[in-house]
Amino acid sequence: MLRESYLPFSAVPGPDPERREPFLGPADAALVGMYRDVIKHEPGMVVAHAFARRIVTPDSGPFSPILHRLRPITMHAGIVLTDGREIQLLHRRDWFTPAGDNHSLARTVVPRSRITAGGVYRHPRYRDVCVVGLLLEAVPLNFFVPDGPELDACLHVLGLTRAEARQGPPPG
């Protein structure tokens, strides 16, 4: 009911969008399965971008290299879907874990019309990871994206460029 309050009704179905299914590897088959389920129930959604899980490196600290070798941290995969009205992010409950989390699933739904501000920030702890911060009217929402083409694709979905995204600490 909440989603119906901001999604406009469309009596004429649009053409089927071109589908390209993300491949994230066997450890993230559940995320791809969740993608298939979303597409089955919401056929207008398309993949804006996806990023695979990766081992991240702490940015600084005297013991960072040692701790990283003893206890590597995984940044989990994510899939970003959009239909122009909403952005849906499929991800793990915890973005960063020491041993991998292959069981939790989360789906964050962002109505585009509610986004009042957005920005990109360096992650305070991990190298080559960015925090994408959104302000949904008065509610801050942060999620994590690898720096590079994945970040550019994510910002494109939000209608931002790196130059337009304000810099500073993440909201909230």
Distance CA 169, CA 153 (A): 21
Is pLDDT of 12 > 50?
no
Other C-beta atoms lying within 10 Å of the C-beta of residue 57? 15
Domain boundaries along the sequence of the chain: 23-158
Q: Residue 1 — very low, low, confident or very high, per pLDDT cuts 50/70/90?
A: very low
- Asked if 158 and 134 touch (Cβ cutoff 8 Å), the reply is yes
Higher confidence at residue 161 or residue 1? 161
Top-level CATH class of 23-158?
A: mainly beta
pTM of the entire predicted model? 0.81
pLDDT of residue 62: 64
CA angle, residues 154, 28, 18, in degrees to nearest 5: 55
| CA 81 – CA 60 distance, rounded (Å) | 33
Predicted confidence (pLDDT) per residue in 94-136, tens digit: 898 887 666 789 999 999 888 888 888 888 888 899 999 888 8
Which string of DSSP letters, residue by residue, matches 19-87? Answer: P------GGGHHHHHHHHHHHHH-TT-EEEEEE--EEE-B---TTHHHHHHHS-EEEPPEEEEE-SSEE
Per-residue pLDDT at 147 exceeds 80: yes
Distances (CA, A) of 121 to 99, 142, 162: 26, 10, 10
What pLDDT is attached to residue 118?
85
What's residue 124's pLDDT? Answer: 86
pLDDT at 52: 92
Pairing of strands 73-75, 78-82: unpaired
pLDDT at 11 over 50: no
pLDDT tens-digit map of 29-88 = 999 999 999 999 888 888 988 999 998 887 766 666 666 667 788 899 999 999 888 999
Q: What is the pLDDT of residue 65?
A: 64
CA dist 83 and 86 (Å) reads 6
